[in-house]
Structure 1
Amino acid sequence: MLELVLQARCFGRLSMTAFLALVYLEQPITLSMPDTQFAATYELGQYQSAVEAEVTALNDQNFTSRFWQKDATLWTQDAAAQDSIRSFMGWLRSPEVMLKAVPEIMDFVHEVQQAGFQHVVVMGMGGSTMAPIVFQRSFQQGTTSLPLSILDTTDPGTVAALEATLPLEHTLFIVASKSGTTAEPLAFGDYFYDKVKAIKGEKAGENFVAITDPGSKFVTQATAEGYRHIFLNFAEVGGRFSALTYFGLVPAALYGIDIAALIQGGVDMMGNCGANGPVAGNPGLLLGTALGVLAKQGRDKLTLITPDSLSSVGLWLEQLLAESTGKEGKGILPVAGEPLGTPEEYGTDRVFVYLGYEREADQANQQKLHALVAAGHPVITIRLKEPLDLGSEFYRWEIAVAVVGIVLGINPFDQPNVQAAKTATDALMKVVTEQGKLPAPGEPAASQDGVSYYTKVSGADATAVLQAFFAQAQPGDFMTLQAYLHESDKLNEELAQFRKLVQDKLRIATTSGYGPRFLHSTGQYHKGGPNKGLFVQFTADHPQDLPLPGRTYTFGTFENAQAQGDLDALHQYDRRTLHLHLGPNPEQGLQSVLAALPAALGKLG
């Protein structure tokens, strides 16, 4: 296999014409960047010439200089939209800015350690928690650091289980909300502030930290309640682009990660992407162009393959890709956590991206990827030397997603359809406040073994309803499982089994997520992307609910309202939905569904 290796420091010696001439050989391209110590290989087959042409066109338009000057005409000619785009491009220089903030963050870490705290909980949604999840699961905890937990669900069982593990008096709670108005983190903060106040009285605020934007209303509340520290982030940085800002770096530092080295990776990638002047081998441009061109040619399901050590990166990429690209009926669907299969299991709507470590052979996945390349599927391989390379990788993907927006002709920095579910939920919560309960969901299409099936299709029993629902699937569609449930190993196994049954029979992409987390990530794609989804929502009873301080409703009611609001929003966009209410025992209820599913799928042609 011939590989073309382009050293970042030598890009200036190789003209773009010569670079593209070599690309035309249709061999894998390896971009080796000595500053960040990892490489990317593109095996694009028949799509390579189209990617080559798009790279040429963008560079002919002086892409790099215009991009770093925040020239919004790269994305749109609409003046109002251009203003919006420029207002959300502050992330471009955030690694440089945050490198200067390292002493401030480390002083805070030392203060927290000296104060005797024993645990840290990050409470937020979407962009404020995705990077901390990756850091907590991808790095080993530092020897002198604090254990880190992340709360990003309103499920009362999850909140109660977390609370039971915490030494409340010695726990530092980080309430992370960019806008300062996001309902979930504010609810989490109020709940645990009330718990700590019962122990420490007026000193409860010593256990709390706020990360939010300047001018948010949350600053007023945090100040009044005596929060230990308020970190003001950057208003011009959207949540999904905030991994290398206070939202990601404060939890990372408390967890013992070398944030200076992490940020330096982002700074290095900035240079490789043209921050200091035009470059001929911009890795963010190449990745974004490849993904955008492939999506336009029908390869719009980005299937992420990782070893277990990097599996959490899928959560971060899901939000970045889906929320940035899923709009105006276009977009790239990120598919994470789906076991890699053989070529005949996939249609022509897939592009495969492998993200792993150089030191991990991961032979099982590599053999399957080689088979996929041989069968004509495009495969992109990215390898890291160590977890700290994630700083550079975060930045590469942020640039790439911005470039995808250019190729697809969309604004990658807004999220117009996320608000739909929020608005529907707010309307339902108003009903709860006035009437004391949520409106009834209506009559189910079928009920069996304690599970209620709500959908527009009909059937005499569970098997018939499932058959009618999945009979709607077409080539190029996808299925997503939306679990408004208390996550457990057993449920994860059952959801994975559900996905495998559907993928094996229908040969469509499958995704899965816990609500309300995904409302702030893939939820944008679900409503704003192409109408190719079959949405299966799971809810359950809450026999052990938790009250919310200062509110007339509970966590369980809040979660159910979010589920119903999401469903209402999907109906507003004419999506195909199946709502399964699993009753008081979701694991048992889902097992009942799984018992009926094989027969239902088996009756399909």
Structure 2
Amino acid sequence: MHGHLQFNSYSAARARNPVGKSVAARPARRDPPLNGFSFDVPPPLARRVRLRLAQAESEAWMARLWERDATLWTGSDEGQWLGWLRPGTAPRELGHLTAVCRRLCVAGFSDAVLLGMGGASLGADVLVHTLGVGGGGLRLHVLDSTDAAQVLALQSAVDLTRCLFIVASKSGSTLESCMLASYFHEQLARKLGRQEAGRRFVAITDPGSAMHARAREEGYAAVFDGEPSVGGRNSVLSPFGLVALALLGHDPAAFLRGARPMLRACAAGTPERANPGLLLGALLGEAAIGGRDKLTILANPELESLGCWLEQLLAESTGKDGRGIVPVDHEPVGCPSDYGRDRLFVHLAKSDAPCAELDAHVRSLAAAGFPVLRCDLPSARLLGQEFFRWEMATAVAAAVLRVNPFDQPDVEASKVRTRALASRHQAGIGAADGKPLLVEGALAFHGEFEGAASAAQLLASCFGGLGAGGYAALLAYVARDAGHETWLASMRGRLRQATGAATMGGFGPRYLHSCGQLHKGGPAGGRFLFITADAPAELEAPGQALGFSATQRAQALGDMEELAARGRPCLRVHISGPLEAGLAQLAGLLERALPPEPVR
């Protein structure tokens, strides 16, 4: 079935006035266009989507969603987390936010560094890579890691004395954000004194948080209040994204105006088949129920960072109670024959900068019978529409799957284990590595796959058991840089070639705030390879029990322990000595361990 629905400014006008009366043309022309959407799906999925839309109409799903009716999902606390339905903030507060950021932009800073994790940082990262620096803005860097090498690389890339630091945490107690804030505050205090150091910081946090109090105590230049009814993964159109936007030199008010057509199109009064959020959500949810739960993101080069934001939104919102959508982002592009029948593809396209090669690839996937969805941005300035479209669609997909899209019940389990390991380390007991299964060269292997005579056999045991509909996840606790991203992508391509399974890749602890919930609470069938390494140095964060390297190690071991306790197969390889040599050795072992192609 071809389901091509191109939404435009006329659709937006109808959404404002769905009864069909004439709408004055002049106001409609002033509105930005509505981002496009089209889809090409097989008839069985199309039939299920039609039935779901009919159910949504008869049960008034969209009216209930806008009314914050928790019974649309599980009847729990969902109604308390729907503040994202009203993006932005009060006009007076938005004006204050913009004015403060503009003053900071002309205060002698050249760079800004956002210190945050998950929803507090991923939206800002999309804005950096998609919109770039506007007139009079600062170069903005996002640091979301406890990897000592990555922290030091950022530190060497900027002049600390001309750098503004943004500490972002909704709760105000996020471990990584607090560590990074303490570390850089100490670095500046040594150079400039503690009072002056405080003036180089701003905070974004919910009112009354511990970070809010700390910012006042240390004399931060500004504190921007988050909205308590907006969860982290839905916060990009709140101060967590708008502060970054303003510091980059863009106008938050104009950006929010660009998102309005999507809000109107997703309104309760829009016909179900013309509501872009409802339609996309129904497609996602029904595809997952039908076994196509590996949502593979294919993005035009200018929109690649949007996939990382979508990864968290989908994984953390839907991956629970053994159900969920598995987002597959930044996997190397393959031929149609490389993909299993558990795939659903989404093409993030830009009509003002088309990518002919990717367009041809997407057409070949549709011709091979894969369901393909296309979201089309006429301009990067309309990125806000995609943020809202996908937030709405994710909420709808969660209703289809009957899960609460706003909680993360399995995330805390890894944190508890991490804290226990950290306490042991602090008490001098040491990390609970245990005896390795085997050691080859620079690599020591830990896990449950006993009986292997060599490292290659061990890796073959880990990934050879991948069944239809499963996925492989490579979780690397090393610095996230271009070289390591290339290595990870290469290994994912090799794993898909050998197993036919979807692959996920992440850098720790970043992925814990993105896909950690899905790994533990989502669909079974994942197999996890953890990669840890000797730290080049230990960095201390004043006021924190452990340094960065010890914390990162505890995070890796804690997450692996929790996955193993839930019966999810895990293997860890620890690299001693030079990291790049160890990664090369591991790549060679994977090449020998894996068959050239899957047995079909």
Specify the TM-score bucket, using the shorter chain as the normaliser: over 0.9
Distance 1:130 1:255 in 2: 15
Q: Which residue of 2 aligns with 1:330?
A: 323
Contact kept, 8 Å, 1:36 with 1:269, in 2: the verdict is no
Secondary structure in 1 aligned to 2:506? Answer: strand
State the Cα distance separating 1:263 from its structure 2 match: 1.1
Is it true that 1:350 corresponds to 2:343 in the alignment? yes
Amino acid at match of 2:462: F
1:344 offset after TM fit, Å? 1.6
Q: CA deviation at 1:444?
A: 1.6
Code of the residue aligned with 1:545 in structure 2: it is E
Q: What is the 5 A alignment of 1:256-335?
A: 256-274=249-267, 277-280=269-272, 281-335=274-328
Partner of 1:167: 159
Secondary structure of the structure 2 residue equivalent to 1:221? helix
- 1:420-464: per-residue Cα shift (whole Å, max 9, x none)? 11111111111122116323x112222112111112113111111
**Alignment correspondent of 2:185:** 193
Letter in 2 for 1:191: Y
AA of the residue aligned to 1:59: E
Report 1:95-494 matches (<5 A).
95=88, 97=89, 101-201=93-193, 202-274=195-267, 277-280=269-272, 281-435=274-428, 437-439=430-432, 441-458=433-450, 459-494=452-487
Letter of the aligned partner of 2:507 in structure 1?
A: Y
TM-score (norm 1): 0.93
Deviation track 1:455-499 (CA, whole Å, cap 9, x = no partner) reads 211311111111111121101100111111012322222211111
**Matches of 2:555 and 2:121, distance apart in 1:** 19
Give the C-alpha shift of residue 582 in structure 1.
1.5
Taking the aligned partners of 1:300 and 1:191, their CA distance within structure 2 comes to 41
In the alignment, the residues of structure 1 paired with residue 421 and residue 292 of structure 2 have an alpha-carbon distance, to the nearest angstrom, of 38
- Kindly state the Cα deviation for residue 15 of structure 1 after the two structures are TM-superposed: 8.7
Shift in alpha-carbon separation, 1:5–1:231, aligned structure 2, 3 A: closer
Deviation at 1:162, TM superposition (A): 1.0
Indicate which of 39, 46, 49 corresponds to 2:36: 39
**Distance in structure 2 (CA, Å) of the matches to 1:172 and 1:589:** 36
Partner of 1:65: 63
Deviation for aligned residue 1:12: 8.3
The more displaced of 466-475 and 127-136 is 466-475
**2: CA distance, partners of 1:409 / 1:191:** 42
Q: Displacement, 1:514? A: 0.7
Is the 2:318–2:518 Cα contact (8 Å) retained in structure 1? yes
Aligned mates of 2:200, 2:589 — CA distance in 1 = 49
Over 3 Å counting, the alpha-carbon distance change for 1:3 and 1:286 in structure 2 is closer
Q: Could you tell me how far apart the structure 2 residues matched to 1:454 and 1:336 are? A: 27
Q: 1:45 Cα shift?
A: 2.0
What's the RMSD between the two structures over aligned residues?
2.0
Amino acid at match of 1:596: L
Q: Which residue identity does 1:341 align to in structure 2?
A: G
SS in 2 for 1:303: strand
Q: Give the letter aligned to residue 45 of structure 1.
A: P
Q: TM-score, normalised by structure 2?
A: 0.93
Q: Show the counterpart of 1:91.
A: 84
* Counterpart-to-counterpart distance in 1, 2:60 and 2:546: 55
> Given the superposition, is the C-alpha separation of residues 93 and 114 from structure 1 closer, same or farther in structure 2, using an over 3 Å criterion?
same
Cα distance, 1:238–1:5 mapped onto 2, change above 3 Å: closer
Match of 1:75 among 65, 68, 73: 73
Kept after mapping to 1: 8 A contact 2:39/2:372:
yes
Q: Is the 8 A contact 2:42 2:369 kept in 1?
A: yes
Q: Matches of 2:325 and 2:218 in 1, distance apart?
A: 42
Partner residue of 1:30?
none
SS at match of 1:348: coil
Shift, 1:361, TM fit: 2.8
Task: Verify: 1:586 aligned to 2:584, yes or no.
Answer: no
Segments of 5+ residues of structure 1 without an aligned counterpart are 17-32
Contact 2:3–2:39 under 8 Å retained in 1: no
Distance 1:552 1:410, change over 3 A: closer
Q: How far 1:160 moved relative to its partner?
A: 1.0
> Aligned with 1:323: secondary structure?
helix
Q: Is the 8 A contact 1:457 1:469 kept in 2?
A: yes
Distance 1:64 1:149 in 2: 38
Deviation at 1:98, TM superposition (A): 5.4
* Letter aligned with residue 121 of structure 2: T
- Take 1:374 and 1:159, find their aligned partners in 2: how far apart are those partners? 46
Letter in 2 for 1:345: D
What does the per-residue CA deviation read over 1:118-146, in whole Å, with 9 as the maximum and x for residues that have no partner? 21010011000001111111123113111
Unaligned runs of 5+ in 2: 21-29
Quote the residue 1:554 is aligned against. Answer: 547
Alpha carbons of structure 1 residues 357 and 465: separation in structure 2 relative to 1, 3 Å: same
Find out whether 1:497 has 2:490 as its counterpart.
yes
CA distance in 1, matches of 2:341, 2:31: 35
What SS does the aligned partner of 1:312 have? Answer: helix
Residues 442, 582 of structure 2: 8 Å contact kept: yes
Alignment check: 8 A CA contact 2:117 2:510 kept: yes
Aligned AA for 2:443?
Answer: V
Instruction: Note closer, same or farther for the CA distance 1:209–1:3 as it changes in structure 2 (3 Å cut).
Output: closer
Which secondary structure does the structure 2 equivalent of 1:302 belong to? strand
1:128 and 1:506 mapped to 2: Cα distance? 35
Q: Distance in 1 between matches of 2:5 and 2:99?
A: 45
